Every structure is written in structure tokens, then in C-alpha cells.
A = this chain, B = another copy of it.
Amino acid sequence: MNKSRLEAFSDGVIAIIITIMVLEIKVPHGEEWKDLLPLYPTVLSYIISFIYVGIYWCNHHHLLHTVKKVGPGIMWSNMHLLFWLSLIPFATAWMGDNHFAPHTLILYALLLMMCGVAFTILQQVIIKCHPSYDPAMVNVLKQQRKKALISVGLYILAIPMAFYSAVLSGSLFVLVAIIWLVPDRNIARVLEKESD
């Protein structure tokens, strides 16, 4: 079975998720700069979610890069990941509309945690389905799991913090995003060596 349709379908779903979030930035009725001001929490939550979905797309791209055959296990673990990702526009809009209120931050943290769990499951299923999986790639995935654990730790930390300070809690999400953005380069180097 070829993986191109799995990639195309996932690309389609992720592209729609990342784009429909912008529909939550409701066009204001006024025509002045000041009418745009109340939108700042919505725009801020849009930017954070855009980066998160972008990170997931990049990691998904890397993960499926070395996949050879696609069975129902991979198809449904992938569908499971897409399910949690598809809820991000909802959580983003709830958080933005309510100015990062505690419960909305917690829902967002829990949702990102579920996305992380779903991604880890997909990784495990892929490794299990490929006994002769490239060891360098397995190493990369192990490194990613470390980062995933740190992320989950930071998400858990963000939950109680949400009741004290939305800024502190929210900056933990930014921190997680940075953790994923920066070491991406390491993975790329491994993948590059491999393709040489």
C-alpha cells in the first residue's frame, strides 16, 4: 500500500485546520484602528496555534518520510492524531474569546497533551510495523520522545499556573513551541545524512 494518499489526506486535514482558525478572528464592525484592539487575544491565540499545527505538520512530514508500508494500524493511529488536532481551532477560539481565562488555558493544555500522546502512539506503531527501521531514525524518535516528555511536564505545570497568571501559563506554551522549533535542525541533519 502506498503512503502518498495518507500523506495527501493528512496534508489536507492539517491545511484546513490551520486555515479555518483564521475564521475565528471575527471582522470588527468599526473601521478604525481602535476597533482592531479587542482582537489581540484572538490573534495571539491564533499565532500560537498556527505555530503548534505547523510543528505537528513538520514532525509528521519527518515521521512519515521513512515509512515504507501503510497498514490499518498506521492509518488509524494517524486518524487518531488528526482527531485531536481537529479540536485545536475550537480550543484556540475558546481561549482567545475569553482572554486566556484559567479553564480555557487548561483545556488548551490538555488538548495539546492529547495531541502529543497521539503523536507518540503513531511513532510507536510506525516503529513496530517496520522491524528494519533505520536505527539513526529510531534514535531521532527517541530524542523526540524526550522532548515530548518535557512538553507534557510543561503542559502539566501550565494547568495550576493558569489560575495564578495567564501570562506565565501562556508563556509555557510558547516555551514548548521553542523547544520543538529549535532542535528540529538535529533531526534534519540526521535525515539529510541518511538521504546522502
Residues of A within 8 A of B (CB): 1-2, 5-9, 11-20, 22-25, 27-33, 36, 47, 50, 54, 57-58, 61, 65, 69, 71-72, 75-76, 79, 82-83, 86-87, 89-90, 93-94, 97-98, 101-104, 107, 181, 184-185, 187-188, 191-192, 195
Contacts and interface: CB of A to CB of B under 8 A. Distances in A.
B1 A191 contact: yes
A22 B191 contact: no
Nearest to A15: B12
A187 B71 CA distance: 10
A33 B184 contact: no
Chain A binding surface SS class: helix
A69 to B, nearest CB: 7
A72 B62 CA distance: 10
Nearest to A13: B15
A11 B14 contact: no
B22 A90 contact: yes
Nearest to A80: B54
Contact of A13 (B8, B19, B76, B97): B19
A8 B107 CA distance: 31
A28 B7 CA distance: 33
Contacts of A87: 22
Contacts of A31: 94, 98, 101-104
Nearest to A2: B65
Contacts of A58: 72, 75-76, 79
